[in-house]
Amino acid sequence: MITIILSPLSLILSLFLSTIIFLLFRTTTAARRNLRPPPGTTGFPLIGETFQLISAYKTENPEPFIDTRVARYGTVFTTHVFGERTVFSADAKTNRFILQNEGRLFESSYPSSIANLVGKHSLLLMRGSLHRRMHSLTMSFANSTIIKDHLLVDIDRLVRLNLDSWTGRILLMEEAKKITFELTLKQILSIDPCEWSENLRKEYMLVIEGFFCIPIPFFSLTYRRAIQARKRVTEALHLVVCERRVEREKGLKKNDMLAALFDSDCDDDEIVDLLVSLLVAGYDTTSTTMTLAVKFLTDTPSALAQLKEEHEEIRKKKGASVTLEWDDYKSMPFTQCVVNETLRLSNIISGVFRRAMSDVKIKDFTILKGSKVFASLRAVHLGQDNFADARVFDPWRWQKISDPSNFMPFGGGPRRCPGHELARVALSVFLHHLITCFSWIPAEEDKLVFFPTTRTQKRYPIIVQKRDVVE
Ligand code: HEM
């Protein structure tokens, strides 16, 4: 019993001491070499400023955490969050530089708790030439041509199928998640919604929860549950991969991501990890953006009215056909403004973590080799110097913006989101069918929070009513 109590205590003590020794060593080495790291404060030993960050992000307005530090130290500053001293960038140019120098000066860096959940062969963890090859293979299954020729018809059909069952009070976030999961499964495995896919989704939700809990394997029930669910997901996907290999040997070839992976040199373990990471990356992000677009529109009736006009116009032109085609998608300029503005304001991926591979000079400072770096997309998107009235939902701003270089919701450089076009198309198709088929009102007050992820507290309950067909 005593040893059980003593071990965590001695672990904490030795962690504390080693952190102090490491920091002292780094500070003196930096001082000796006359290097100036970005200014800032690192808060308390071990926990740093983590609690300040978490409590800010649990509110509707987390910006003061960044604003006060930017005002005090500038747009690139040092803090200490989630157990590590971290250089925080709220500067658009610096963020671009960090992202574009992936693999040269910086490399992506995830804690082992996340690596265990996505799998060691995930795209998120790959590096070097293997990463470049698999990133471009993923892109080749989510680019405009493949969406136009192949995926759009499924996106349109699956969105309509889901919306057809809506009546009365729904939790929009849950419905959107169901839609995006089904879309991704179709895209990567050619599987249509069924009991198997719904069961897989439930397991997936447990895996996703594991990303956002405090990952102490033996103490966190959520994390343990996530690891077990990950095992079941892996087993289920392995079975699908095996069956498809057999079909393929018989000459049956499907046009999906799995077929493309069979054509590469990957073995089954690598394929399954890649599939898991694709489902992780596309599921929560797109569904949360769908939900928040509807929330922002509901709160901004003039934008909703203009969007309605755009979609009713498309509907009228199409006559009896309800299926959206590529040309319809391309004639939604205001919808693209709404999508951009939702991505800018909601920042589903608020920023990306990297690690410096060597000492890197940025502005008048040096980011020391080995330092953790957080390129905050959110801080740039909500920075008043980058966007006028940056914290207001104003889709019309996109009719005037000619240089969108401060806007990076999908990241940048070699790790730029390969699903960016797919997400845009899914969002536009979803908005089209929602707006032309339904009217809605919020069922209760709900508010946005940003920790552990960006979401609305109550999963955005709304009451929907089917509209008469647009004449
Ligand atoms: C609104 C929806 C989405 C947003 C905001 C988003 C955002 C991002 C961002 C910021 C990154 C860069 C991460 C980094 O640099 O470390 C990323 C990477 C990634 N995204 Fe998305 N994403 C979305 C939808 C999707 C979809 C639908 C897919 C499915 C194909 C997808 C697949 C991926 C993958 C596989 C990566 C990892 C790329 C790599 O490390 O090379 N995403 N996403």
Which tens digits make up the pLDDT trace of 250-267? 999 888 999 989 988 889
* pLDDT category of residue 47 using cuts at 50, 70 and 90: confident
List the one residue out of 379, 154, 183 whose CA is nearest residue 287. Answer: 183
- 85 C-beta closer than 6 A to ligand 1: no
- Per-residue exposure over 88-105, b if at least 16 CB sit within 10 Å of its own CB, e if not: bbbbbebbbbbbebbbeb
In this structure, what DSSP letter does residue 368 have? P
- 75 C-beta closer than 6 A to ligand 1: no
Ligand 1, atom 16, residue with closest C-alpha: 352
Please state which of the ranges 33-37, 54-58, 404-408, 425-429 shows the lowest mean pLDDT: 33-37
Q: Which pLDDT value is given to residue 402?
A: 87
List the one residue out of 315, 336, 350 whose CA is nearest residue 62. Answer: 350
Q: Which pLDDT value is given to residue 174?
A: 96
- For ligand 1, the distance from its centroid to the CA atom of residue 277, given in whole angstroms, is 10
- 187 C-beta closer than 6 A to ligand 1: no
- For ligand 1, the distance from its centroid to the CA atom of residue 415, given in whole angstroms, is 8
Ligand 1, atom 35, residue with closest C-alpha: 278
* Alpha-carbon span 447 to 451, nearest angstrom: 12
- 286 C-beta closer than 6 A to ligand 1: yes
- For ligand 1, the distance from its centroid to the CA atom of residue 393, given in whole angstroms, is 23
Ligand 1, atom 12, residue with closest C-alpha: 411
Q: Which residue has the tokens 């089954």?
A: 268
- 125 C-beta closer than 6 A to ligand 1: no
pLDDT, tens only, 67-84: 999 999 999 999 998 888
Distance between first and last Cα of the chain: 75
Strand intervals (E) in 66-183? 76-81, 84-89, 106-108, 168-171
Largest CA distance in the chain: 77
* Alpha-carbon span 117 to 139, nearest angstrom: 23
Give yes or no for residue 92 having a pLDDT over 60.
yes
**Average pLDDT of 110-139?**
89
Q: Which pLDDT value is given to residue 23?
A: 52
Pocket probe for ligand 1: among 135, 417, 422, 430, the residue whose CB has the most ligand atoms within 8 Å is 417
**Average pLDDT of 222-245?**
94
- 227 C-beta closer than 6 A to ligand 1: no
Give yes or no for residue 468 having a pLDDT over 80.
no
- Please enumerate, as own/partner, the contacts of 216-223 that have beta carbons within 8 Å and a separation of 24 or more: 217/113, 223/113
Burial tier of 446 (Cβ tally within 10 Å: 0-12, 13-18, 19+): buried
Ligand 1, atom 1, residue with closest C-alpha: 286
What's the CATH code, domain 20-118+350-381? Answer: 3.30.43.20
- 418 C-beta closer than 6 A to ligand 1: yes
- 422 C-beta closer than 6 A to ligand 1: yes
Give yes or no for residue 308 having a pLDDT over 80.
yes
Domain locations in the chain as residue ranges: 20-118+350-381
- For ligand 1, the distance from its centroid to the CA atom of residue 341, given in whole angstroms, is 18
- 437 C-beta closer than 6 A to ligand 1: no
Give yes or no for residue 1 having a pLDDT over 70.
no
HSE value, Cβ hemisphere, 13 Å, CA-based, for 231: 5
- On whether 437 is known to bind a ligand per the annotation, the reply is no
* pLDDT category of residue 40 using cuts at 50, 70 and 90: very high
**Average pLDDT of 284-290?**
96
Q: Which atom of ligand 1 is nearest to the CA of 141?
A: 30
Question: Which parts of 319-402 fold into alpha helices (H)?
Answer: 326-329, 333-346, 377-381
